[in-house]
Structure 1
């Protein structure tokens, strides 16, 4: 597959060449192209980070952890000196029911006839609901539950990995007006499949190469093939930490994000890294390998005050490196990861390019 910079910059050129001039919510003005798609290889723990400008990994990782904690207040971000959501928060730091709240606490409130609630055995058939209000005069009961989409996704991957319902959505029409910023990256579908023997060997080879670069014991190609096939008898000769990283799972996991609106210069590089990392986290939790991240953007746009910046980035040389991520703990839910559980290696980059954010 192409390098992440090449994929991203090729799309940027398409927006500049074929995009339409459009007004926008912020009054800044954009060059916009509808329906763009990029595909990134994330096998063997690869993280598609742009090298033609620096990406702030600290902000990317902390924001994703914040999402996974199910929060709608920026207190966690402020504690960790991440200010990317400051412009949208109110005086108390609240953003309303944004991404994390929808991922982990989707509100499902219903009003029904008392008989429907009691006689149909509704509670037993639909676990998680609680009665929050009762109107005896009208014979109505109000019930409520919170849907944890991440927990449901993990359960499906563990019990029915071929499901076509591996969905995570942040777009909730009933609360759009309550959100400080309606979700831009709004709908995600995951896809799992069995890996071939050749694919598993290739993943193992790539990991062995990564470990060699980290100055660990070199693993020969013959050892890799013997190990994957189960015929390597002298496993004691390989350090345990090498074995833990080397062994490929038998299933792979891909992620397809639909983003309704993409600030292509500032936001999209961030989104590519974040959802690739999310895929790695979920794959690790359910014992799978990450395969690819597919990124579809509805309104892909460059703000008018970002044109000079993308023009500066386009001719820059891609830095030769192969970023990859190591998750240092095995956990049951990705919300259990802390910042210190996540390490990114072999990331080099050109200097950052500053640009104003459109609020």
Structure 2
């Protein structure tokens, strides 16, 4: 199994391959993004050469995995997150507005929003509670990482073409400030400050070839997903309960647009994969929102486990009310005088 990772090696960020219990670094200066630009075939060949012929000493020496601190496996070029599990949508509708069932529009095409690639965190990092948040939540997901396919522009892909662009998979925790998110989504726009403070990717990228034999006839991956809070199982599901296989999600994202190496696309929350969904089903905040000191662990079969501890809340006021204004005539010319 080829795993691709980034780690802190004595204060220096290194990229490379994880095999069994050892980390094999790329030459200094080479990054995970270089591998994504090279594409999956070249990366697999490089991994075989690197792991098979690793020097015992020097810059290319393998390190015990226990002696390195894993970082997020990449800083995404873009971060799209879908809402592709029917059970999650059903539970969240109950939680948010008490509605039953799933809206017809969900079935018509996969829906996603763009999140913040600059606040991606690693397994093991502390996740502070953002200012103004009293309902911190997690979201249990799998994310596909895009790599280069020779001769492809990454635009208007078919599902078959899109599958070739999937370089690998990683675990994704889309941290969510539910009370902030609830307020801002009433303005009929996607989440922003309720989401952009943190998202965990990791612990590494497992290359897509490792899952070829796991696809069913429709292209779905039957991987087990689970999430524990403070050691207690809170939710679990199968990745194959997606409404669309990953190849179709990537293909949809590429329509009249483009997917490029380094892009990350999240599956959306699996069924029972977050607290807010359970609040809707239970009719109360059970289990309760996350608090400082809580530990959240997510495991996806064949990929691995990410674990984060909740840090302190940042005490600050971030809401800034709109100024009351007298509406100007539509023909206002900007100089204080209405147009003729």
TM range (shorter): under 0.3
TM-score (normalised: structure 1): 0.23
Q: Which has the higher helix share?
A: 1
TM-score (normalised: structure 2): 0.24
Q: Which has the higher strand share?
A: 2
